Each structure stands twice: as C-alpha cells, then as structure tokens.
Chains A and B, each alone.
Chain A
Amino acid sequence: MVNIAHFIPVFPFVAFWLNIIFGCRLGVACAYVSVGASAISAVLAVLVFMGLQAGGGSYVLTPWLSVNGHPISLGIIVDSLTVMMLLVVTIVGTLIQIYSIGYMGGDPRFTRYFAYISLFMSSMLGLVLVDNLFLLYIFWEGVGLCSCLLVAFWYEKPAAAAAGIKAFITTRVGDTGLLLGILLLMSVGHSLRFADMSVISAPEPLMVLAALLIFMGAVGKSAQFPLHVWLPDAMEGPTAVSALIHAATMVAAGVYLVARCYPLFTAHPLALQTVAVIGAISAVMAASIACFANDIKKVLAYSTISQLGLMMLGLGAGGYTGGTFHLMTHAFFKALLFLGAGSVIHAVHTQDIRAMGGLFNKMKVTSVTFIIGALALAGVAPLSGFWSKDEILTAVWQHGNLGLFIAAVTTSFLTAFYMTRLILLAFFGESRGAHKAHESPAVMTMPLVILAFFALFLGFAGSPWAHHAFQRFIAPEEGEVALDLGMAVASTVIACAGILTAFLLRGKFLGYKEGTCALIENKYYFDEIYDALFVKPFHRLAAAVARFDQVRVDGVVNGVSRCVQELAQASRSLQTGLVENYLLAQAGGVFVLIVVVTLVGKLCHIF
C-alpha cells in the first residue's frame, strides 16, 4: 500500500488545473472539486498509514536531473514522519476547505480561491513526500507561492497586496540560504537524499554551515526570529487560509525540515544548539507580543510563531518526539482556533477583541470549540496540547540548559495567559460592539466540532494510556518512554498559573493604557528596523544603480560617440590641400611604422 503514496498530491494538482481552466463554468461546484480531491488524498493517506505497519521505505519514480554527475531522482520517502504529515495535511486541509465553502461563500473570486488552495495542497503534500532536499526545495517554493497568492487574495486592498509580497520576499531570504545549503551539501556531501543524511562525511565546519543554511530556510518558512515579520502581516489573507497555511501546515514545514534532516543536526551540536536558541527566542518574544495584541488574528499569529519556536526548541534540545508530536497536535488545535476566529469575524465583522465581548451566549458552538482549542493550546491536562508540550518541556529539562528551560516555561505561562485574556475579552463580559452576532452555518461549525474532537483526544496517542503509541510510531528506535510525572504536574501548574493571572487581571484589560509597554506593543520595532535597514536602502540602491546606469555607463557610451564626431571634425583641418604637408606626414608615418614593426617583432619574440 505504501507505493501508492505518490498519487496523493496528484489529485489536488488536477483539481487546481480543473478549477483554473473551467473555474468560471463550474461556479460553486469548484469547491466540491477541491474538497473531493483533498478527501481522496486523505483516504489514500490513511491507506498509506495502514500500509506502513508492513514497513515503510522509499522508492524512485524516475531519474530526473543530474547535477555534477550526481543523479537527482524523483524519489518518494514513506516513513512515520511523512505519514504523520500526510495525515495532518489532508485531514486538516479537507476540513478547512469544507469550512471555506461557507466562509468564502459569495466572494467574487470563489473559484480562484479553491484553485489556489488545491495547488497549495498538492505542493504541501509533495513537500512531505519527496526523498531529497532538491525536490523538497521545489515544493517548498511552491507552497511559498500559494501562501503569497492567498495572502494577497484580496489584492484590491493595498495592505493585502503588500503583505503577500512581504511574505514571499521574507521567506525567500531564508530560502536562498536553503538553496546555498543544498549547493554546499551537494558539493561536499555528494548527496541530497534524506536517507543519506546520517552517513554524509565532510569537514565539520562545512557541515555545520550546511546545516545552518538549511535551518535558515526553516527559519523563514516557520516565521522564526529574525525572519518572523511576515507572518503577522499575512493575516491579511482570508482566515481559512491563515488556518491552513499560516498555522497548521506550511509554517510547520520548517519544523518538518529540521526533523527530516535531524541526523545532520544531531551530528553537529553547534547546529542543534542554534536551532534551540532561535526557537527559544522566537517562542518567548512572540508570546510576549501576543499578550498585548488586540487583533484576534494577530494574537493567534504570534501564538503560532511562539508555538513553532517551542517545537524548534524541542527539536534543538534533542526532543525529536516532542517536537514532531507538538507539530501534529498544534496543527489541529491551531487550525481550530483560527477557524473559530474566522467564525467570530464572520459574525461580528471586526477583528478587535476589545470590540467583541459576550459572544458566548450568541455563538455556542464556536465558543465551546474555541475554548477547547484554547485550553489545548494552553496545555491544560488532558487535552492534546498538554501531552505534546509536556514532551518538549521534559526534553528541554533533560537537555540541561537552564536558560532554555526557563524560556520554555515562560512561553507556557504566557501562552495560557494570552489565550485566557483573548477568551475573556471576546466571549465573556458585556457585548461592546453594535453587532448582531449569530452562529455560523453548519458547513462552518461542523469542521470546528471535528477539529475540537482532535484537540480533545489526539494527545492520548502519546499518553501512557495508549502505551505512548505516538512515540513508538514516530521514533521506534528510541525505546521505552515514560511519562515524567513531576514535569506533568509542573506543566499543569504553570498553565493554571497563566490562566489564573489572566483571571486576576481581567478587569484591567479594557482599561489598559497603550504605551505602557511600548517596546512589546510595537513588536520590538522589527518592522521599523528592517524598513530602515533593508527596504529603504534597497529602494535607494536600485534608484542609484539606475541613475548610475543612465548617467555614467550610458554617458560614457554617448561620450565615445561624441568624441568620434569631434575627432572627425577636428581632422578635417588636416586636409590642407598642400602637398608639402602630406609629404611630411608621409615621412613621419613611415618612421613610426618602422619603430612599431621592430618593437612588435621583439615582443613576439619574447612570447
């Protein structure tokens, strides 16, 4: 069953072309094309999952390209990590597409939306299936493109158009690192296959550099410090897109990449340590910003950066299972939270949580599922987030670096805090807007309920009651796993502390005066710094180059032509018509010729 895996991305890809070419004629039916294709992929993914019991493996479809004598084949890898990603992407993707039928209903570019989503699905599925870095890079850029197109989906809005471009260019900075890493790995390691990652032998500094360059790609895609600035802006896209691409799947691709190249990182402690530190910085920084954000989507966006940072931290601390487990659980509950936020925005037509309030009674399904998602994110036992976050905390603790552990604990605390704040402001208290909120249609709430189910129970796959099925599945070679009870208690206490703090401070949220924590409220001024450091100089440099080109380079060209003309004018006066002058010139010319011929002869002799 495993060798049908390569068909999984094909269906969404066909759906993309169907919708692009026949979209106008299909009308609303194009949604069914996309959802259907995605559902078929999900079924295939489940089949592959069941077939995996008989053993995974990789197989080559066709040789594709040869670089420097090394073949790059269209190869497929099917192992537990890939299958986990396949399941996450297809299941979450299908649910979000069903939700989109309602959420995007009535949009003039409804068909275009589903076309892009299908293209995204096929790229994302291809990304997790291929067995080497080069092909991964191709799909990596593919998902980046879809992200850009979907962020700028409402391109009439200048903010959306700018955000789309910012997303693409910022991630491209990271991707360029990835590309150089690929080239370096190819030239010193002679293989790009993931299966060979553990056996590549090359000089240590070069391998560390390669690992760091690859990680640079992951930093861009997973919106980690210092390339995180695009993700909050990307919230300009439709909320369902934020759920699918900017929460559950694409941004997790960076974590996937690190997990996929894990042997490369573990072999070089410096690289692994960098992953942990970058993850820790991102986690704490983003979580702190989320505490002050008032836009419901921005809170979730910073939360995503923070949680991805936590996954990176887990991986960097040696917690392979923790990082991948959290990737999986996070995909479900963060998708749930975004879709819930979409449902809320759909109802109240504002994204400012200060203008919401009292939605609990008006939107029961949305509220309950959202709270489930928030509790899962906060890491309250026994919801899914608890189990995976606990794994990470345990790994970081065992790693032994106290600073990293404090970062992880702080993140957990802040996460519980800002989610509680968000819920208190949005769903409870007095209604503060002039809106008439109502529950969303079933096509939107049904996916919420299903995702809430996952948020509730998925964590049990990694619990002692399921005999740590997830851990044995994802890393069978790691042997016995046991729940660290002390850590579980500590983690619960931290989460509860965060929630409690938010409850205690709830009276102050609305009356909070802006500017008290200007540094954090302004997102540590990253946008302003980058603008001054990169964007403006880029524009200035381009203008300078263009001016230089016109004035200097072309000026020389035109100058040469003017010189020739003037020389011609000047030489007219030589034609005096006096024979004596010509004879004199002739004699001089003969003399010069003799000198030149002699000299050249000598020079040639030397050569």
Chain B
Amino acid sequence: MPYFLTAIIFMPLLGAALIALIPAAQVRSIRLTAVAFNTAVLAAVVVLGLNFNRHTGLMQCLEDRVWIPQAGIHYTLGVDGISLALVFLTALIGLLAALASGGIVKRVKEYFLVYQVLMTGLLGTFLALDLVLFYIFWEAVLIPMFFLIGIWGGPRREYAAWKFFFYTLAGSVVMLVGILAVYFSVTPHSFNMIEIARSSSMIPGGVQAVLFLMFFFAFAIKVPVFPFHTWLPDAHVEAPTPVSVILAGVLLKMGTYGLMRICVPFFPAGAVLFAFPLAILGAVNLIYGAFAAFAQSDFKKMIAYSSVSHMGFVLLGVAALNVTGFNGALLEMFNHGVITGAMFLLVGVIYDRAHTREMSAFGGLASVMPRYAFFLTFMSLASLGLPGLSGFIGEFLALAGTFFRFPSIAAVSAIGLIALVALFLVIIKKVLWGKPAGHASYPDMNAVEISVMLPLVALTLCVGFYPQMILQFQTYAVNALVGLL
C-alpha cells in the first residue's frame, strides 16, 4: 500500500479543507464532516493494524522521498510496534473527542478546522522518521492546541494557553538545537531516525549524555515530568472537555514516545547513564502526582494530577531499560490514553450538568445517575490499577521492569500504588456516594455520551483480560530496542 501512512496523516487535513468550504452557519454538516473524516482515519488505522507484520521489529510501510536535498531533509514515514498502538490510540481518541465536541457552540467551524490540523500533527509526530519532519509535526501540534485552549477554554484560558505554549516551546527550541547536533554527530550526516539509531555507537559517550538531556528536556515538559508539570493542571482545567481528552489521551504520549523513539535508541549510553535518575523521577511523578491530586478540590485538577502520577509508571518502565519495562511503558501509555481520556469525558459529563467541578458540590450521584455511576466507578477502578482491567497490566509490567533493575525504587513506588487507590476511592466516595443533595434533577448520561464511553470501556476490559491484544504488536520492536542498548 504505497502512501498509506501519508494518507492517514493528511486525511484530517483534507477534512479541514472540506470544512473550510462549508458555510460557518451549517454547524451540523461541519460536525458530520469532522466525525466522518476521523472515522475514516480510524478505519484506515485499523486496516494498517490488520496488515501489520507482528513478527518483525523493523519499520513497516516505509515511505522515503527527498524533500529538501540541500539540507538533507527527507520526507520519511514508517510504523513499527512502538508507534502502532499510539497511532491507533490517536485515531480512536480523535474520533471520540470529535463526537464529544457537542458542547462546543462557539465558532464551530474554526474549532473543527483547528481540531483537524491538530490530528494531522499528532498522527505525523508518531509516524515521522525524519528528525526535521518530526520536529515540524511536533510544532504543528503546539499551535492548534494553543488556539483550542486559548479560544474555547474556560475563564483563565489565555493564561493557560500561553503557559502551555511557552513552556512547550522552550522545550522544542532546545530539541531543535539537539536535532542539529545529532545531524552533525553521525556520519554520514543524516536526519533519518533509523540511520541515527543504527549509528548511535558513533556518538561519543559524553556527547550522548548531553544530547540525551537536551531531548529529555523537551520530552520531559510534554510528559510532563516533575518539576516541569505545572502547565498541565492549568491547561486541563481551562481546556474544553474534548481538548482535555486529547491532551491527556494523546498529547502527553508525545513526550514518552519521544523518550522511546529518540532518547533511548539515539543515545543508549546516555540512557544507561541516566537510567537511575530517570527512575527516581518516575517514582517522584508517581507519588507526588498522587498526593497532589488527593488534595485538590477541583475534579478536573484531580484527574490532571493523577495523569502526572500515571506517567510516572511510564517513566519507570522506560528507566528500566529492559523488555518488561518497555512493554509496560508502552502499554501504560495506551491504557492511560483510554482510561484518563474516559475520565476527562466523565468530568465533562458532570460539568455540563452542574456547571461546577468543585468536589464538595457533588455527592450521592449514584442514586441520581446510575449509568454515570457505573462508568465513573469502572474507570476509577481502571485508573487505580485494579487487576483485570487494562491499567493494571501496564503498571505491573512497568513496575516489574523497574524491580528487576532498581528493586529499591520499585519498592518505594509502592507508596504511590496505595495513594492512587486512596485517591480514586475518595473520588468515588465524594462524587457518587452519600445522600444526593440539591441535584436530584440531573439527567443521566444520554445515548451520545454512552456511545462515546462504550468503546473505551470495551478496550479497558479486553486489554485487561487479554493484554496480548496490544502486546503482540510491540514484542519485536521492543526486543529490537533493547538490543540497541
């Protein structure tokens, strides 16, 4: 299938072009077009997955065209076991968030235009194999996200949008310097990510360490790693529900994906050198995020901080630098996208009714909204890592990987496990349990809201029961990655 990946990446942009042609007043057609194109992307990604060769760690569906020969920049795309699940996640969350955009009533046309550009940027980031192209897509995500928060956000949207923008930009600039440095450190000079990974041994250890840190800085802001995480709660609280879903579900994974696609394979010596500090950061993220979340009074902020906590598992898995850890990190990325995406949808559901996110304003909703209670309980349990649901497997593998390398850090991280349980049980208790007071009239979740939740519930269950569903795609790629170390 030639140009299949190109088709996947630019299909949302095509949708944007079409939306641009529709008069702004025809809100319904605009929504339908956006949903249709995102459905098409998802379908294409499913086809990609069905044709994916699970028995190789090599790049597949490679596309390589010289783009700017004077600078050695190519247009290179490819997919392997590390990116496939994330591409699927992007397409799925992209569609569901588009479906959940019913609450957006202001400047709908512009919203979906920007939204479609964002989707192209996200898909491109996960599929690009040329560093410059990767950088372009990386930045292409930043700008639409800036507008989505800054225009359609809450009361402090401008502060949050600028904070997000500058923070990420600061990281990107460092990364850009890093990209140029990498280009000149390998011979022949190349931006090709496969080539660089193959010739990583050429880069001297000290340079590897410096470059690792430069890229890590950019990715750490995106993940976000403590102490670079404070843009996240602000961005989440201000962003509208579907944007929060994309932010948590997909955007954060750009950072961890970068760690696994660039930091580890390009600078294996740097990765080994910094594995221990990275593991400590992972444990800090895990515990700090859970504690910070526990003390919030804003429902959305709680989930935002819990994301910080969950990304700690991914960092731990990456820091483990072994097959188990990488598998755990990748699986946790996917699961977190599904579960926390769903959690933000659920926060949105209750915000639409209560017009507040203060935890103290809720209580007793289980009696008023039984379906909502089911979904919130289910997803909270998945978030706290209940075995049998998907979150557990990723967390377990990441923790196991860490344990094999740094047993003491894994043991300390166990505090985070208990804190997460406390956090999500308290959420259940404060929102759902108790006597309903003053909000007896909230309608339960409607058909659209439920239909958006159902695929996420199904994935959480299926991956929890049969983790090979995702793991089988990444086995060879992960082995290949460990082989580089």
Which A residues form the contact surface with B (CB < 8 A)? 20, 64-65, 67-69, 137-142, 145, 148, 152, 155-156, 158, 161-162, 164-165, 168-169, 172-173, 176, 179-180, 183-184, 186-187, 538-539, 541-543, 545-547, 549, 553-554, 556-557, 561, 607
Contact = CB atoms under 8 A, between A and B. Distances in A.
A549 B435 contact: no
23 contacts: A65-B468, A67-B324, A68-B322, A138-B387, A138-B392, A165-B422, A165-B425, A165-B429, A169-B422, A169-B425, A183-B407, A186-B400, A538-B294, A538-B422, A539-B295, A542-B292, A545-B291, A549-B292, A557-B163, A557-B167, A561-B166, A607-B204, A607-B206
Interface stretch (B116-124, B133-141, B410-418): B410-418
A144 to B, nearest CB: 9
B425 A168 contact: yes
B418 A172 contact: yes
Contacts of B207: 607
Contacts of A184: 403, 407
A546 B207 CA distance: 37
A187 B404 contact: yes
Contacts of A64: 466-468
Interface in B211-243: 226-227, 229-231
A20 B374 CA distance: 9
B421 A168 contact: yes
B407 A187 contact: yes
Given A68-B324, A180-B411, A172 B417 contact: yes
B323 A68 contact: yes
Contacts of B374: 20
Contact of A155 (B231, B295, B366, B381): B366
Nearest to B325: A68
A607 B209 CA distance: 12
B406 to A, nearest CB: 11
B434 interface: yes
Contacts of A156: 364, 367, 433-435
A178 B386 CA distance: 14
Contacts of B392: 138, 141
Contacts of B417: 172, 176, 179
Contacts of B166: 561
Given A156-B367, A168-B421, A142 B403 contact: no
Instruction: Label chain B's interface by main secondary structure.
Output: helix
A554 B237 CA distance: 15
B197 to A, nearest CB: 22
A145 B386 contact: yes
A164 B288 CA distance: 25
A145 B419 CA distance: 16
Contact of B433 (A137, A141, A155): A155
B388 interface: yes
B422 A68 contact: no
Contacts, number: 127
Interface in B318-376: 322-324, 364, 366-367, 374
A65 B324 contact: no
Contacts of B407: 183-184, 187
Contact of A546 (B295, B400, B468): B295
B422 A183 contact: no
B13 to A, nearest CB: 33
A370 B309 CA distance: 50
B397 interface: yes
Nearest to A136: B387
A542 B295 contact: yes
Given A184-B407, A549-B288, 19 more contacts: A67-B324, A68-B322, A138-B387, A140-B387, A142-B388, A145-B386, A148-B425, A152-B433, A155-B434, A156-B433, A164-B425, A172-B418, A180-B410, A183-B399, A545-B295, A546-B291, A546-B295, A553-B227, A607-B206
B376 to A, nearest CB: 13
B22 interface: no
B128 interface: no
Contacts of B229: 553
B106 to A, nearest CB: 28
Contacts of A176: 414, 417-418
B91 to A, nearest CB: 26
B426 interface: yes
With a 10 A CB-CB cut-off, give which of A184, A554, A556 has the most chain B CB atoms. Answer: A554
A108 B171 CA distance: 55
A169 B432 contact: no
B296 interface: yes
Contacts of A183: 399-400, 403, 407, 410
A67 B291 contact: no
Contacts of A165: 422, 425-426, 429
A17 to B, nearest CB: 10
A140 to B, nearest CB: 8
Contacts of A553: 226-227, 229-230
Contacts of A172: 417-418, 421
B393 interface: yes
B421 A68 contact: no
A164 B468 CA distance: 33
Contacts of A173: 418
B421 A169 contact: yes
Contacts of B401: 68
Given A155-B434, A172-B417, A161 B387 contact: no
